[in-house]
Amino acid sequence: MLAGKNGGSYPVTFHEMNTMSVEFADGWRLLRASNIVAVLTLRFEADNPAALQRIQQ
- Cβ atoms 22, 28 nearer than 8 A: yes
pLDDT of residue 30 exceeding 80: yes
pLDDT at 55 exceeding the cut of 60: yes
Compute φ and ψ for 30, nearest 5 degrees: -130, 135
CA distance 48 to 29: 14
Mean pLDDT, the chain, integer? 84
Reply yes or no on whether the pLDDT at 54 is more than 70: yes
Instruction: Quickly count: other Cβ atoms within 10 Å of residue 4's Cβ.
Output: 12
Task: Say what the pTM is.
Answer: 0.71
Residue-range domains of the chain with CATH? 2-56 (3.30.310.50)
